[in-house]
């Protein structure tokens, strides 16, 4: 068979209903991970659904308990054609956010896949069951198209806690580094820039969640009796937040501002358009760092967002000065930001601004990553995707959102390529989450092409089994045209 036959087989897997049937079964597993409990459905998804499907493709599967207390299990599946051959690592997560069952519109529910025209509704259709199902369906077609021999090894890591900040993922990868040793990561998560064009991204912005809190006194006091002589913690805290970010979203803490945007990143984002879809919000031209394009503000700069504010009783306000106030905030940041020092940076800033009484507490953190745009794998993947779709993909130095990509880029030392199959208005994490059928079909062909071209690269390019991304190549791999 030839490359084009492989792509036709991937499209047929979609067209004859097999992909729909696979995704229907997977959506039915209630694999919520953000509820604070590890439910039996998480392990069942790995053992009862994914293990049999992978075993049919020649994978040896192992479900491993989470090394972190209270975390869901992992699946490591390995398909070894030869110890001397290069290895591609893939990743996905079988967990989803809470179903929010009562909030879906009439006729829809999170645990039943419902098809309405081009939209396939159900929890996990976009994040991430639909996406890793596309990868595995395409891989199956590539294996068959090459007569059962890809010419390289494949390892898949599935976790069940990504929506709960991936507890135990770093430790698991340290413990299982030998089993996860590879030459390249190709994975799928997050959205495309738009539904109209494929996207390739090379890393992600990092995120640190933090809270600012001010507890002035144990309880509230009547505003008529005490207003004007007791400090209002909500007022004080709002002014403290205003020293971090101004009224138009510009970061005011110098240490948390990027030193600039590399020319290669600026060039890559020059033609990236943000928004414009039917369900997208309007981009606000005056919000954020002045002088930057929307794409640069979103993917090449840092932002501080206030996620929630709390003081008194918003549902039933009373005439009282609240005793305490809290602001839950988030820093989204690019490579080069001193994010590990965030608590100390905020502490020094607030002290200097006269807000020494405001408490700073970091609650969640994850690193930023960005593969060099001149890495040979980037051009290789661009050419492969263009050969499969007829379109040159949007290439993002990093996703605007956050993923645990530092596990692969830093801990395992791999070049990282992410090919998303969702789009920005998919209602990810919200009621009515959905996958667009045309994107799923095209995604199957994109991934089938990538897996086919990896076989050609493995045969013609001396990959070296190494955990160092700098020693993976001696030349640039080339994809054949369709």
Strands 199-201 and 60-64: unpaired
Q: Where do the DSSP E strands lie in 216-272?
A: 221-222
Domain 223-276+292-364: assigned CATH number: 3.30.70.360
The Cα 350–Cα 357 span in angstroms is: 9
The Cα 408–Cα 127 span in angstroms is: 19
Instruction: Choose which CATH entry (3.40.630.10, 1.20.1250.20, 3.40.50.720, 3.40.190.10) describes domain 3-204+369-471.
Output: 3.40.630.10
pLDDT in tens, the chain (482 residues): 899 999 999 999 999 999 999 999 999 999 999 998 999 999 999 999 999 999 999 999 999 999 999 999 999 999 999 999 999 999 999 999 999 999 999 999 999 999 999 999 999 999 999 999 999 999 999 999 999 999 999 999 999 999 999 999 999 999 999 999 999 999 999 999 999 999 999 999 999 999 999 999 999 999 999 999 999 999 999 999 999 999 999 999 999 999 999 999 999 999 999 988 888 899 999 999 999 999 999 999 999 999 999 999 999 999 999 999 999 999 999 999 999 999 999 999 999 999 999 999 999 999 999 999 999 999 999 999 999 999 999 999 999 999 999 999 999 999 999 999 999 999 999 999 999 999 999 999 999 999 999 998 765 554 543 333 333 323 334 333 33
Tokens at 260, concatenated: 């600039």
CB 448 within 8 Å of CB 9: yes
pTM for the model stands at 0.91
Domain range summary for the chain, segments of one domain joined by +? 3-204+369-471, 223-276+292-364
């Amino acid at each position: 068979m030839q490359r084009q036959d492989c792509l036709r087989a991937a499209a047929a897997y979609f067209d004859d209903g097999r992909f729909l049937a696979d995704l229907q079964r997977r959506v039915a597993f209630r694999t919520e991970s953000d509820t604070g409990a590890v439910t039996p459905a998480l392990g069942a998804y790995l053992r009862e659904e994914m293990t049999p499907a992978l075993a049919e493709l020649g994978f040896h599967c192992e479900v491993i308990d989470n090394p972190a207390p209270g975390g869901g299990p992992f699946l490591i599946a390995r398909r070894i054609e030869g110890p001397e051959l290069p290895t591609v690592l893939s990743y996905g997560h079988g967990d989803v956010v809470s179903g929010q069952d009562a909030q879906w519109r009439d006729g829809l529910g999170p645990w039943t896949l419902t098809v309405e025209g081009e939209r396939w509704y159900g929890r996990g259709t976009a994040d991430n069951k639909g996406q890793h199902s596309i990868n595995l369906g395409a891989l199956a077609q590539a294996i068959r198209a090459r007569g059962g021999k890809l010419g390289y090894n494949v390892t898949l890591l599935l976790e069940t806690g990504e929506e709960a900040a991936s507890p135990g993922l770093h430790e698991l990868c340290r413990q299982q580094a030998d089993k996860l040793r590879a030459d390249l990561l190709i994975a799928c998560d997050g959205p495309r820039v738009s539904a109209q064009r494929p996207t390739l991204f090379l890393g992600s912005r990092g995120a640190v969640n933090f809270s600012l809190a001010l507890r002035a006194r144990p309880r509230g006091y009547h505003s008529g009796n005490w207003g004007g002589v007791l400090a209002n913690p909500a007022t004080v805290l709002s002014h403290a937040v205003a020293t971090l970010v101004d009224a138009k979203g510009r970061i005011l803490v110098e240490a948390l501002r990027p030193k600039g945007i590399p020319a290669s990143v600026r060039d890559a984002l020059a033609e990236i358009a943000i928004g414009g879809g039917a369900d997208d919000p309007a981009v606000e031209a005056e919000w954020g760092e002045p002088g930057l394009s929307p794409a640069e503000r979103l993917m090449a700069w840092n932002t501080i967002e206030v996620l929630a504010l709390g003081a008194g009783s918003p549902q039933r306000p009373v005439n009282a000065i609240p005793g305490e106030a809290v602001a839950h905030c988030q820093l989204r940041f690019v490579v080069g930001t001193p994010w590990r020092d965030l608590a100390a940076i905020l502490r020094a800033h607030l002290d200097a601004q006269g807000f020494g009484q405001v408490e700073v507490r970091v609650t969640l953190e994850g690193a930023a990553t960005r593969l060099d745009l001149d890495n040979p794998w980037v051009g290789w993947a661009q050419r492969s995707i263009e050969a499969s779709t007829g379109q040159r993909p949007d290439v993002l130095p990093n996703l605007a959102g956050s993923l645990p990509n530092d596990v692969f880029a830093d801990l395992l030392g791999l070049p990282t390529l992410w090919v998303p199959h969702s789009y920005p208005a998919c209602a990810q994490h919200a009621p009515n989450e959905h996958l667009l059928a045309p994107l799923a079909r095209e995604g199957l062909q994109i991934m089938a092409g990538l897996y086919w071209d990896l076989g050609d690269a493995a045969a013609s390019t001396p990959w070296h089994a190494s955990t160092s991304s700098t020693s993976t190549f001696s030349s640039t791999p080339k994809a054949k045209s369709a």
